[in-house]
Amino acid sequence: MTFSQVIQSDLTVLKKKMDSYKSLSKKQDEILEAQIRYEHVWSSNAIEGNTLKRYETTSILQTGLTSQGTPIKDVLETLDLNDAYNYMMDLVSRKQPLTQQVIRDLNRFVTAKTAKDLSAAARYRAILVWPNGLQNHPYVEPFEIQPAMDDLITWSRTAQKQLHPVQYAADLHQRFVSIHPFEDGNGRTARLLMNMALPQAGYPIVNIQPNAKERTAYMNALETSRISHDASQFENIIANYSVEALNNRIKTLALNEQNIKDADQDFDL
């Protein structure tokens, strides 16, 4: 299955529908964006093994309070990814093009307080690594990382203009993970890169859910695409998340618009 014209059309139609509604008030928009950020920090960390529950992550980011017995590492990962997310959204607001410096900076934020070797943050790895249990399918050889990252940036400049925005975001994620350039934080950095690309094109953030079923489908699709050089399975997973995010935003905007009309009618009475 490819990223078909049907999928592209469905996404484009939903985006046009979303764009047709009035914007939320500034306060409502800030609250919604904060909720999406909390969701991202929780879900992206949980995919990597962070044990915090959603409400615990939200509590840390809203109030700075933690539950008794909360692992320090999990708290630090939460603070790091929150900072990285805020930096990503700042890049979006400034329409920052993708560069290796941007990618390094995102990884530096992601691992700022938790990297085993803090001096190695944002530094390309010098050793061979592979997914758990797949030693026969290692990631890119260390000496090939720099050329692969050069190619990634070159590819992105063309692909961002030629591909559907959701397909581009998915492919950027997939290609970066296949390189796996850093010692730590590659998955979280990849999901930030994907979510940098989506709002740059006017699409909502998507958050991969960490429950066993969805995490397994996500991880398997990434690995299948890396080995087969066919990203279609992974692209379709991200497309489904985008459809869900668009529909959720449309429902929120439609309700807000109806609430405005109801209030205006009551005032006229």
Total domains in the fold of the chain: 1
| Residue 59 predicted with pLDDT over 70 | yes
* Averaged pLDDT, 224-236: 94
pLDDT digits (tens, 9 = 90+) for 124-181: 999 999 988 788 889 999 999 999 999 999 999 999 999 999 999 999 999 999 999 9
pLDDT for the residue 265: 84
Respond yes or no: is residue 180 known to be catalytic. Answer: yes
Residue 167: domain span? 5-261
- pLDDT for the residue 219: 96
CATH number at residue 163: 1.10.3290.10
184 assigned binding-site residue: yes
Residue 1 pLDDT level (bands cut at 50, 70, 90): very low
The reply, when asked if residue 188 is annotated as ligand binding, is yes
Could you tell me if residue 268 is inside a domain?
no
The 10s digit of each residue's pLDDT in 82-126 is 999 999 999 999 999 999 999 999 999 999 998 877 777 789 999
d(C-alpha 130, C-alpha 268), whole Å: 66
pLDDT for 269 beyond 60: no
**108 labelled ligand-binding:** no
- Model pLDDT for residues 181-226, shown as the tens digit of each residue: 999 999 999 999 999 999 999 999 999 999 999 999 999 999 999 9
79 falls within a domain: yes
Residue 216 is labelled as binding a ligand = no
Q: Is residue 185 part of a domain?
A: yes
Q: Is 267 inside a domain boundary? A: no
Distance of CA 203 to the CA centre of its chain: 12
227 contact partners, CB below 8 Å, separation of at least 6: 137
> Which member of 137, 164, 180, 229 is catalytic?
180
Supply the pLDDT for residue 261.
Answer: 92
Q: How far is CA 18 from CA 13, 35, 37, 253, in A?
A: 9, 19, 20, 8
